[in-house]
Amino acid sequence: METNHLRLNEQIATAMEMVANTAGFLWNKGWAERNGGNLSINLTMLVSQPFPPFTTSYETELSEAAPLLANNLLYITATGSRMREVARDPFARGCFIQFNDTGSNCTIVAPSGLLPSSELPTHILIQQFLKSQGNGYTSVLHTHPTELIALSHCRPFLNQKYLSDILLGMMPEARMFVPKGIGLVPYQKPGTVLLARATISALVNHDVVLWEKHGVLAVGTNVEECFDSIDILNKSAQIFLSARQAGYVADGLTGNQLNNTAPP
Ligand code: 13P
Ligand code: ZN
């Protein structure tokens, strides 16, 4: 099995350690019911040597070429895999994808019987978008945080500015660490290119986006950073909803208090 060879690569092993830790956080948070959520990492820059071509694997033509991912190497969780299983062994519950030299085709190495996440079109198109931005972001994390999803079931919160203002006003850390707030993606069928495209539009001005009545997706320099951004915004949602449950509406930080909370 070719993943044995990948396990021996030090840089990949280190990246997979972070995947395991993050998958454990997602499970412990209660955001990863059954196979909920998936993640991908562009490993190309992490691997110092050009990676030898895969041999024991299968090839697939992409419905849409990703030229900026030519010769790149991605990791993505396998469809149906539980985050609590990814936490135990990301190699056993994930796939490695190597793109050809035009980005029109890729070779996939997966443990026997596993296929890449059903959100693969979204991960590939977003990974290509991140490349085009040249911001050093390599990681994409999708998960199902309860309170943020709950807010997306209520029409007034389906307004990007309104929702971001509420969430950034719940505690200074939200403003400090997720200053761009949250982007909004109107409901689209999971696993579709339409969802991918709508997500990319929202990522132009945000690092975290809310998929209406489904979940959240974040991008960043590593998967733990993606997790932190979602965790902060979901904590804001929890504070907001806790106040509502106690019978009052949270005041939120004042304009002055927000202005005094500069990002680090
Ligand atoms: P996969 O198991 O195919 O990754 O799907 C999980 C999910 O959350 C889909 O949005
Ligand atoms: Zn999902």
Residue type, 49: Q
The yes-or-no answer on residue 119 being catalytic is yes
Average model confidence (pLDDT) across the chain: 94
Q: Compute the distance between CA of residue 169 and CA of residue 258 in angstroms, rounded to an integer.
A: 7
Q: Which residues pair with 164 in a beta bridge?
A: none
Dist. CA 54 → ligand 1 center (Å): 25
**Interval 125-176: pLDDT, tens:** 999 999 999 999 999 999 999 999 999 999 999 999 999 999 999 999 999 9
> CA-based diameter of the chain, in Å?
61
Q: Which pLDDT belongs to residue 68?
A: 97
Rounded average pLDDT over 117-122: 95
Q: Which residues surround ligand 2, an ion (CB under 5 A)?
A: 215
Q: Which pLDDT belongs to residue 1?
A: 45
Q: Compute the distance between CA of residue 227 and CA of residue 38 in angstroms, rounded to an integer.
A: 12
Dist. CA 35 → ligand 1 center (Å): 6
Dist. CA 106 → ligand 2 center (Å): 24
Q: Which pLDDT belongs to residue 55?
A: 58
CB of residue 86 inside a 6 A radius of ligand 1: no
Atom of ligand 1 at shortest distance to CA of 144?
Answer: 8
> What b/e readout covers 153-191, taking b as 16+ CB neighbours within 10 angstroms?
eeeebbebeebbebbbbbbeebbeebeebbbbbeebeee
Best of 79, 115, 230 to mutate for ligand 1, by most ligand atoms within 8 A of CB?
79
Atom of ligand 1 at shortest distance to CA of 77?
Answer: 4
CB of residue 192 inside a 6 A radius of ligand 1: no
Dist. CA 79 → ligand 1 center (Å): 6
Tell me if residue 39 falls in helix, strand or coil: strand
Q: Compute the distance between CA of residue 90 and CA of residue 84 in angstroms, rounded to an integer.
A: 10
Q: Is pLDDT above 60 for 178?
A: yes
Lowest mean pLDDT among 36-45, 54-63, 135-144, 185-194: 54-63
- Structure token pair of residue 163: 């929702």
For the chain, the structural domain boundaries read 1-144, 145-181+218-264
Backbone angles phi, psi at 116, to 5 degrees: -60, 160
Which fold does the domain 1-144 belong to in CATH?
Answer: L-fuculose-1-phosphate Aldolase (3.40.225)
CB of residue 122 inside a 6 A radius of ligand 1: no
Q: Is pLDDT above 70 for 44?
A: yes
Q: Compute the distance between CA of residue 177 and CA of residue 171 in angstroms, rounded to an integer.
A: 11
State the pLDDT confidence band at 9, using cuts at 50, 70 and 90.
Answer: confident
**Interval 196-251: pLDDT, tens:** 999 999 999 999 999 999 999 999 999 999 999 999 999 999 999 999 999 999 99
Q: Which pLDDT belongs to residue 5?
A: 74
Q: Which pLDDT belongs to residue 116?
A: 95
Ligand nearest to the CA of 214: 2
CB of residue 35 inside a 6 A radius of ligand 1: yes
- Percentage of the chain modeled with pLDDT above 90: 84
Dist. CA 139 → ligand 2 center (Å): 16
Q: Which pLDDT belongs to residue 57?
A: 72
pTM of the model: 0.96
Residue of 61, 119, 224, 225 with catalytic role: 119
Q: Which pLDDT belongs to residue 252?
A: 98
Q: Which pLDDT belongs to residue 56?
A: 58
Q: Which pLDDT belongs to residue 51?
A: 65
The kind and range of the H/E element at 257 are: helix 255-259
Q: Compute the distance between CA of residue 142 and CA of residue 37 in angstroms, rounded to an integer.
A: 5
Could you give the count of Cα atoms lying within 13 Å of 217 in the half-sphere of its Cβ? Answer: 27
Within 10 angstroms of residue 72's Cβ, the number of other Cβ atoms is 22
Tell me if residue 218 falls in helix, strand or coil: strand
